[in-house]
């Protein structure tokens, strides 16, 4: 039995997990966690690649020690991360363009591209909802001033890590599907869109599928890996959402909510949905593992709660706030958690109060009231999105699978079940790492199919069921407020 190592780079923290996989059980253990703190330069935000890489190596070393203590060999390494952000490396592998954060995306670059190809047309070509953070708009801003020599390559975040591990230059399909540059019709880079963004097609790496081998770790990593040389580096669902959903035991009529700092809400489908209704509803189509399509919306998750906790350093701890927030409010307050001004607000609690005041609702004042407003509003957004996803794909959703850190929030799970009117099946919280490890097992032939991976997850990390309750929250009033916002 081999030990596989999953590198999961998140926008606020990263971790390395060690997993063992047999035909009957998938076990995972976090061996290293580290913060992800961007750098600021000339008013823009950049990822600290050197520090993140150093932390990754520390995590791989910890994973190698774990394998050694278990008297097992390392069977593979896989990397996943957030989407859209891209760097450039030269023909000799040297970095040429820093990895800028999507948080510094330029509205002007977005408008310049949309002036040449309307947003609705861009959606129909790629299946991706046009947003300022998408790679196509980032490159339209960054490349005109860059001097990239022949033989240079653009690499998305997890592909950059895989390149550093193996020297292989490729774009794993699930992460490539976040760029807004991949044709929904052909599954290849769209040459016309590359031209619109001012991207030389020679800069784009070849596409690679998840559950395939990228190469092996070189001799320079031997000391880091405890003497284990030539460890296979395997392409997983390099977009963290793809890895997370791979570990969700989805039934045909079930939706998913992958909830952490942000929330990805939708359904798994056999093809992209490129209709006008999908575009108008804010849905994207991103590639999943085993040729599946994730028809989903990117929504606010627990980021709002995290920002409020930072604003209340002297207030009660989160468990106490959640206990107080579990009591139904005499007058429930709802906000539109998709309001873009929330993301840029320097005082989220005050902004929430302003939003409630502007819609004629009672303002939440005490921290527990604000917490309840956030969680009720998140559940309302999930209700709305799950219903839309069902309509767009022609199915009646019978359950919601909630994974990620949000599934540990019992109040959010209960409210989501009540809002959606169907059971919430919560867990696993470590879905991304489990999916990363499971896809490595697929690549190695340890397990034979995505269905087998999901069966292992069901056995190894049973979900907790929250039945739908009724009568506590006036969801229809929330629907009306959301429709009017």
Q: List, by residue number, the catalytic residues.
A: 240
Place of tokens 């769209």: 190
Decide: 223 and 58 in contact? Cβ < 8 Å: no
Residue 276 backbone zone (phi > 0: left; psi -120 to 50: alpha; other: beta): alpha
What is the number of other CB atoms lying within 10 angstroms of the CB of residue 485?
A: 13
What whole-number distance in Å separates Cα of residue 284 and Cα of residue 140?
21
Decide: 2 and 73 in contact? Cβ < 8 Å: yes
Grouping H, G, I as helix, E, B as strand and the rest as coil, residue 38 is: coil
Distances (CA, A) of 218 to 68, 182, 386, 432: 19, 31, 45, 26
What whole-number distance in Å separates Cα of residue 296 and Cα of residue 266?
4
What whole-number distance in Å separates Cα of residue 20 and Cα of residue 2?
6
Strand partners, 44: 41
Q: DSSP letter at 482?
A: H
Decide: 82 and 11 in contact? Cβ < 8 Å: yes
Decide: 26 and 462 in contact? Cβ < 8 Å: no
Does residue 428 have a cis peptide bond before it, meaning omega lies within 30 degrees of 0? yes
**Helices of type H across 33-91:** 49-69
What whole-number distance in Å separates Cα of residue 63 and Cα of residue 74?
9
Residues 342, 35, 427, 475, Cα dihedral to 10°: -10
What whole-number distance in Å separates Cα of residue 308 and Cα of residue 295?
30
What H or E segment, with its residue span, contains residue 214? Answer: strand 212-216
């Amino acid at each position: 039995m081999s030990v596989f190592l999953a590198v999961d780079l998140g926008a606020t923290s990263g971790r390395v997990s060690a997993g063992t996989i047999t035909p009957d059980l998938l076990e995972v253990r976090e061996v290293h966690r580290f913060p992800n703190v961007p750098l600021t330069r000339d008013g823009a935000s950049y990822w600290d690649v050197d520090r993140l890489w150093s932390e990754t190596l520390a995590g791989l070393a910890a994973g190698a020690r774990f394998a050694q203590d278990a008297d097992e060999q390392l069977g593979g390494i896989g990397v996943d991360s957030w989407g859209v952000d891209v760097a450039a490396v030269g023909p000799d592998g040297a970095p040429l363009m820093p990895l800028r954060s999507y948080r510094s995306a330029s509205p002007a670059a977005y408008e310049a591209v949309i002036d040449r190809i309307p947003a609705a047309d861009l959606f129909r070509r790629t299946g991706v909802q046009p947003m300022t953070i998408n790679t196509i708009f980032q490159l339209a801003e960054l490349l005109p001033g860059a001097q990239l020599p022949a033989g240079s390559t653009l690499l998305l975040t997890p592909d950059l890590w895989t390149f550093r591990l193996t020297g292989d230059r490729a774009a794993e399909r699930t992460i490539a599907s976040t760029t807004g540059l991949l044709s929904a019709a052909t599954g290849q880079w769209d040459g016309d869109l590359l031209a619109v963004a001012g991207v030389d097609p020679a800069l784009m790496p070849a596409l690679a599928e998840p559950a395939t081998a990228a190469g092996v770790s070189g001799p320079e990593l031997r000391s880091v890996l405890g003497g284990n040389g030539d460890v296979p580096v395997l392409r997983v669902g390099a977009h963290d959402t793809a890895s997370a959903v791979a570990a969700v035991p989805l039934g045909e009529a079930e939706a998913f909510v992958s909830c952490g700092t942000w929330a990805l809400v939708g359904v798994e489908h056999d093809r992209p949905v490129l209709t006008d209704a999908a575009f108008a509803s804010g849905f994207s189509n991103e590639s999943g593992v085993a040729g599946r399509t994730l028809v989903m919306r990117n929504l606010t998750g627990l980021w709002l709660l995290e920002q409020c906790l930072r604003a209340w350093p002297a207030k009660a701890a989160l468990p106490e706030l959640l206990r107080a927030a579990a009591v139904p409010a005499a007058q429930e307050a709802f906000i539109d958690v998709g309001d873009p001004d929330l993301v840029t607000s320097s005082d989220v609690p005050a902004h929430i109060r302003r939003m409630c005041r502007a819609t004629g609702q009672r303002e939440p004042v005490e921290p527990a009231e604000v917490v309840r407003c956030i969680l009720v509003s998140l559940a309302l957004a999930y209700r709305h999105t799950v219903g839309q996803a069902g309509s767009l794909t022609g199915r009646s959703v019978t359950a919601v699978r909630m994974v990620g850190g949000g599934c540990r929030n019992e109040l959010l799970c209960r409210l989501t079940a009540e809002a959606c009117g169907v059971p919430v099946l919560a867990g696993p919280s470590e879905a991304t790492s489990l999916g990363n490890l499971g896809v490595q097992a697929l690549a190695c032939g340890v397990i034979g199919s995505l269905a087998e991976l999901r069966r292992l997850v069901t056995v190894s990390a049973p979900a907790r069921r929250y039945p739908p309750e009724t009568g506590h929250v006036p969801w229809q009033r929330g629907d009306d407020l959301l429709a009017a916002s």
